[in-house]
Structure 1
Amino acid sequence: MSSAHFGNRLRKGAVNTTVAALAVAALAASQAPDVTADTTGRQTTADAPAADQATGDSATGNSPYYTDLPPLNSPLPAPSASADTTPVTTGSAEAGIPATVLDAYKKAEAELAQSKPGCNMPWQLLAAIGKVESGQARGGRVSADGTTLSPILGPVLNGVGFANISDTDNGAYDGDATYDRAVGPMQFIPSTWEWAGRDGNDDGKKDPNNIYDAALAAGHYLCRFSWDMSTTSGLRSAILSYNNSTDYYNTVMSWLEYYRKGTHEIPDGTGTVPSDRSDDTTDPTTPVTPSSPSTPNTPSSPSTPSTPPSTPSTPSTPPTPTDTVHHLEDAGTAKLTAMAGDAFTTKISTRTETAAGKAVAKVRVRFTIVGDTDATFAGGESVATVATNRKGVAAAPALQAGEKTGTFTVRATVVGRTVTAVDYKATVTARAADTLARTGTAAPTCVAGGEFADQVEVKATYKGAVADQVAATATLVKSADDPTAADKGPFFKDATGNPVRTLTGLKTDANGLLKLPKLYADDTTGTFLLRITTTGGATLTVELTVTAPEPTTPSPEPTEPSDTSSPSATPSESSTSAS
């Protein structure tokens, strides 16, 4: 919000303030039993806000926000076609959300349903935060592509009434090269936008002043660390990480429930803009009238002091914890190695110290993943900001290995101060198995020239657990001592039907199973070996038996049947003649 826009807010009357506070307190009791508030809506000493302990940061740098609450009556339905002649009530006006702004919230919800389905992000939550942070981009004063018609800037975060956040972007986003300011309709501070920014309207840019970009970034910010918006604890943690204030949480929840009861689309630029802000302390419309000064008595001549009073020195601003940091130290991080797809069991810990080696608490340390890797922190982000504890130690969120193998770097730096970074090397190794076993017991047997009836299937495990997506090779080897591929005996077939005796590029499935293609036999008989190996050294050798075909007994040839009608013998003629 612009400082001019912020500076001219009207405070509500005492009655409205009391009603709003009671509404907040009632909502806190009904929506979040773990939140307590007094009758003025202020956080009590019993509160233990679920601040973003994982980041020690907030999206807005805990900048001021609008405190206006929704009307007590439920939103009215969308106006009818003849509504131009019907006065719009306060309730229906408040329930209306500018068209482009509403579209941005719904598109962000749809994208998050795909990329982070476990978050269960409702667009109404984005709308509630957008209302509290900027009054829905100042009532929808945005261009057709969603960019605000003029910058929305929060107050200078110089430590005077607000957080003290030195410049982190050289004024690139907020125009201030000395201190940071919250920027855009969702009020991101530059250091948070640097890693949380998203391109929500696919124009190739990540612009905090664009409602599509800002809404999508806000959604991803709220969904990090696997928070679930359908649970009370997840919703509370996420909202408090945006601005660490119980009053902020209650105000956002008020609007969330209000929008859930019903909203409607209104033209851009016609939305209502809130009038109260969390840092309002006086009514700027009521000038303070000075009292008439009384006529001073004529002072008596002062006596000359024996010792002239010393001129008081101008008090200096005490340094912040960040200002005292001289260097960073590794706080005992062990070797960082994980298999692809697994979580790293070791966390990175960094300590902030003064020049004398004294630990410094309450300093924001940023951890950034650098290098060609798809590894992330828990929640899918590549950057995380963590506040140091009383021992000066900041522990980064757990690392999650992706599928890319190799070494990458996690770099630790101090937010708001230039000191030498500390780099941590992390290595992702290929998925591996240490054991292979057949799933069947039948011995693979085939006759020469035929095909094996059953396909060979094996199961891979690693340290007793299923080894999924592990690379494997299957080879019909010459012998137990010669692992080269045989030139005769059983074989697989390639895509064109030609015999092959080595298969590469195999992988186990999600259950660690690998079923090999069908095996065939040539005319060579005997016992043959099929050897399967995986990444990680698991090996299994399977015996294959090829037998000779059963010999065939030739059938005797049939004889010609005798002709019983003809004489069995031809009588010889008598050679005796009559004398």
Structure 2
Amino acid sequence: MAAHFGRRLRKGAATTAVAAAAVAALSASQAPGVTVDGQGGQTTAEATPAPEEGAEGVGATGNSPYYTDLPPLNSPNPSPSASTGPSASGRAEAGIPATVLDAYKKAEAALREKKPGCNLPWQLLAAIGKVESGQARGGRVDADGTTLSPIIGPQLDGNGFALIKDTDDGAYDGNSSYDNAVGPMQFIPSTWEWAGRDGNGDGREDPNNIYDAALAAGHYLCRFGWDLSDQGDLNRAILSYNNSTDYLNTVLSWLEYYRKGTHEIPDGTGALPRDRSDGTARPGSASSTPGTSKPKPGPRPEKPPAGDRPDTEPPASPGASDRPTTPPPSTPPATPPTPTDTVDHLEDAGTARLTATAGDAFTGRISTRAETDAGKAVAKVRIRFTVVGDTDTTFTGGESVATVVTDGSGVAVAPALLAGEKTGDVTVRATVVGRMVPGLDYRATVTERVADTLVRTGDEVLTCVPGGEFAHRVEVKATHDGAVADGVAATATLIRSADDPTANDGGPYFRDADGKAVRTLGGLKTDADGLLKLPQLYADGTTGTFLLRVTTAGGATLTVELTVAAAETASPSPSPSTSPSASPGA
């Protein structure tokens, strides 16, 4: 980051000097529990969920380049006026385009409802959006929030960046050889595939739509039960997005700035960032058009402070250049293997049978042990659990991917699974992050919802005249073990007789969408209260007693009697008898 500070200072920006000091303070105050290794990599305590880091263990963005511009010195609130405030360009840099700001606030509201314990502030989304894309290139979006042109980062081909070969066949980034980060929040395709959300309700999950991207970023930052009001969890979440301490400090500086207040500016008027972590120019120039030019190698790592340098390279003292030096060894010392390097295979660590009814949480959890070729457990290894296949079963929290660090016994326990509505077998695959060893597949089974009892909710006699319609509709309630059985599949059939459950060819009937008579209705489901109200019943010209049978998954059955009879005609009243006239004198 010092290199970036230097560029800003050479421009004579006193503002930056103050901001740099703020960033240094933020760095020094990094919360306990989050440490960073010499390459900016995050380490966490044993047996705690680790950030999900995309295709190659490099965060939501693939550790793509980001903008390093720091906030202005002046507070953004209240909104500066043209007469008394800073220049128009300064106002644009301090403000947030209207549609982009709306997307951040809507995402915060959605997460407050879905994951209230996360305490996601919209200002964090704004800080990441500023660093990743300059607030969608200064708010150059249409009325629906989609960028006027796709925002595509440099291809991640290992040339100064991470090496991530194509994972989406170019569907998101137009590149079938390597992946590129995409959209205003810069998701790599493999991460967007599971993290993508529909934030504007148009039925699509588009990484180039600021509403979709902001909501996806919010869910990404709220994984693993993180509470972003806690500084340690906040740092972990930001580092999981882009694994760099410079990135962390830059985002924190913008977060603090936006927390002091900001103001709305018209879409398309936001200032474009100037400095990027890979040293390229601001977007729009020929040398920096994303995805069209060969990316420049990133800046060389700065030398660590003297106290952090290896013992084999002591800091130089005055006049040291005139003294004889000890020649370096002909062969550099071998780098000791990391725990991940020693993993040979994965073993099941006693996972019980995984079965759950649709919509319920699985009681068992998947346990995986990392082992060496000699069968010795390996601690501090990241295990990625992925729900694969066409299923709506997820981990609790709605994610299909979770990463957990093995504990001292080499075991990683996946988060609890939540069964979706799609029934059948589900595969959960465990793999080692950063090591090519065969994955370990677990099978979980989702069974359909069932009921064991059906009863009518009313006791009306169900009668009808030929060619008419029944006055009352049949309503039933389903229960299972005495509890409400919601979402249970049911079938209603007008049967031939109590001993013959096949559909009758005469008598009462339902009507389909075209008004035609049908005597079997499938695809019915009980509601949240276990209730099922059948459609209107009609009678043809046949009279008699008929049976309606309702069955549910799980074996619950109810038979209801229907009567079709002609209307009773009233018999004529007898005419009053004429009493004989009284005879005279009677």
| TM class by smaller structure | 0.5 to 0.7
1:146: Cα distance to partner? 4.7
2:502 aligns to what SS in structure 1?
Answer: coil
1:433 has 2:437 as partner: no
User: 1:212-223 to 2 correspondence within 5 Å?
Assistant: 217-223=216-222
**Cα distance, 1:75 vs. partner?**
3.8
Partners of 2:259 and 2:457 in 1: CA distance: 55
State the shift of 1:356 in Å: 1.2
Is 1:444 paired with 2:461? yes
Cα deviation digits, residues 365-405 of structure 1 (max 9, x gap): 22222222232233333322222222222222332333322
8 Å contact 1:154–1:183 — kept in the other structure? no
Shift of 1:194: 6.8
CA distance in 1, matches of 2:262, 2:24: 20
Q: Secondary structure at the match of 2:500?
A: coil
Matches within 5 A, 1:310-325: 314-325=332-343
Query: Residue 149 of structure 2 corresponds to which residue in structure 1?
Result: 145
Task: Report the CA distance between 1:219 and its aligned residue.
Answer: 3.4
Residue in structure 2 matching 1:329, options 339, 347, 357: 347
- The answer (yes or no) to whether the contact 2:30–2:235 under 8 Å persists in 1 is no
1:291 matched to 2:318? The reply is yes
Find the aligned partners of 2:319 and 2:415 in 1 and give their Cα distance.
Answer: 62
Two-structure CA RMSD over aligned residues (Å): 5.7
Q: Is the 8 A contact 1:338 1:401 kept in 2?
A: yes
The one of 494, 500, 503 equivalent to 2:511 is 494
SS in 2 for 1:554: coil
**Paired position in structure 2 for 1:456:** 474
Structure 2 counterparts to residues 354-373 of structure 1, below 5 A:
354-373=372-391
Aligned match of 1:118: 114
Pick closer, same or farther for the CA change 1:186–1:156 going to 2, 3 Å. farther
Please list the CA deviations of residues 506-555 of structure 1 after superposition, one character each: whole Å capped at 9, or x if unmatched. Answer: 221222111123445666455x5432100121112234466786574334
Distance 1:250 1:336, change over 3 A: same
* Whole-angstrom distance in 1 between the partners of 2:228 and 2:31: 23
Aligned twin of 2:73? 71
* Equivalent of residue 425 in structure 2, options 397, 407, 411: 407
The residue aligned with 1:338 is: 356
Q: Output the amino acid matched with 2:49.
A: A
The secondary structure found in structure 2 opposite 1:20 is helix
Q: Which amino acid aligns with 1:354?
A: T
Report SS of the residue matched to 1:333: coil
Q: 1:417-460 deviations in whole A, cap 9, x for unaligned?
A: 111111112222223222212222x2525376475443221111
Shift of the 273–192 alpha-carbon distance from structure 1 to 2, 3 Å rule, reads same
Shift of 1:327: 0.2
Change (3 A) 1:264 1:362: farther
Contact kept? 2:450, 2:552, Cα under 8 Å: yes
Q: 2:408 corresponds to which residue?
A: 390
Q: Counterpart of 1:222 in structure 2: which amino acid?
A: L
2:22 to 14, 20, 24: 20
Pair 151,349 (structure 1): closer, same or farther in 2 beyond 3 Å: same
CA distance in 1, matches of 2:496, 2:366: 49
* Cα distance between partner residues in 2 of 1:132 and 1:400: 35
Question: Measured at CA, do residues 145 and 455 of structure 1 come closer, stay the same or move farther in structure 2, by a change above 3 Å?
Answer: same
Code of the residue aligned with 2:262 in structure 1: it is K
Distance 1:483 1:423, change over 3 A: same
Matched residue type, 1:434: D
Residue 355 of structure 1 deviates from its aligned partner by 0.8
In terms of Rg, which structure is larger?
1
* CA 228–511 in structure 1, closer or farther in 2 if over 3 Å, else same: farther
SS of the aligned residue for 1:483 comes to strand
Task: Write out aligned runs for 1:7-406 (5 A).
Answer: 16=18, 20=22, 24=26, 40-43=28-31, 53-57=48-52, 59=59, 68=70, 71=73, 73-75=75-77, 77=79, 80=82, 88=87, 92=91, 94-97=93-96, 106-107=102-103, 118=114, 123-131=122-130, 145-147=149-151, 169=165, 192=191, 195-196=194-195, 217-224=216-223, 238-239=237-238, 241-242=240-241, 251=253, 253-258=255-260, 260-264=261-265, 267=269, 270-271=272-273, 273=275, 291-292=318-319, 314-406=332-424
Asked if the contact 2:343/2:370 (under 8 Å) is kept, the reply is yes
Distance 1:146 1:380, change over 3 A: same
Partner SS, residue 484 of structure 1? strand
8 Å contact from structure 1 (residues 69, 251) kept in 2: yes
Q: Aligned equivalents of 2:78 and 2:121: distance in 1?
A: 20
Describe the SS at the equivalent of 2:257.
helix
Which among 507, 527, 537 is matched to residue 509 of structure 1?
A: 527
The answer to whether the 8 A contact 2:358-2:423 is kept is: yes
**SS of structure 2 residue aligned to 1:329:** strand
Opposite residue 506 of structure 1, the aligned amino acid is L
Please report how far the alpha carbon of residue 354 of structure 1 lies from its aligned counterpart in structure 2 after TM superposition.
0.8
Q: Give me the whole-angstrom Cα distance separating, in 1, the residues matched to 2:156 and 2:99.
A: 20
Deviation at 1:200, TM superposition (A): 9.7
- Asked if the contact 2:153–2:186 (Cα under 8 Å) also holds between the matched residues in 1, the reply is no
Q: Quote how far apart the aligned CAs of 1:482 are.
A: 2.9
Figure out how many residues of one structure are paired with residues of the other and give that number: 510
CA gap of 1:128–1:542, structure 2 versus 1, over 3 A, is same
Rate the CA distance shift 1:289–1:470 in 2: closer, same or farther, 3 A: closer
Q: Is the 8 A contact 1:408 1:426 kept in 2?
A: yes
Give unmatched runs, 5+ long, in structure 1: 25-36, 158-165, 298-310, 563-579
- Opposite residue 128 of structure 1, the aligned amino acid is A
For 1:542 and 1:332, how far apart are their aligned partners in 2?
49
In 2 relative to 1, CA 548–361 (structure 1 residues): closer, same or farther, beyond 3 Å? same
Task: Output the CA distance in 1 between the equivalents of 2:454 and 2:408.
Answer: 49
Quote the Cα distance in structure 2 between the aligned partners of 1:72 and 1:552: 94
Check the 8 A contact 2:100/2:139 in 1, yes or no. no
Q: Is the 8 A contact 1:152 1:183 kept in 2?
A: no
Q: Identify if the C-alpha distance between structure 1 residues 457 and 78 changes in structure 2 by more than 3 Å, giving closer, same or farther.
A: same
Describe the SS at the equivalent of 2:492.
strand
Cα deviation, residue 474, structure 1:
2.0
After superposition, the C-alpha distances for 1:185-212 in whole angstroms (9 at most, x for unaligned) are: 757688756754689999x99889x989
Report what 2:295 is aligned to. Answer: none
Query: Matches of 2:139 and 2:510 in 1, distance apart?
Result: 65
Q: Which amino acid aligns with 2:555?
A: G
Q: For the residues of structure 2 that align with 1:498 and 1:294, how far apart are their CA atoms? A: 98
CA distance 1:170–1:500, shift in 2 (3 Å): closer
Q: Aligned to 1:420, which of 438, 443, 448? A: 438
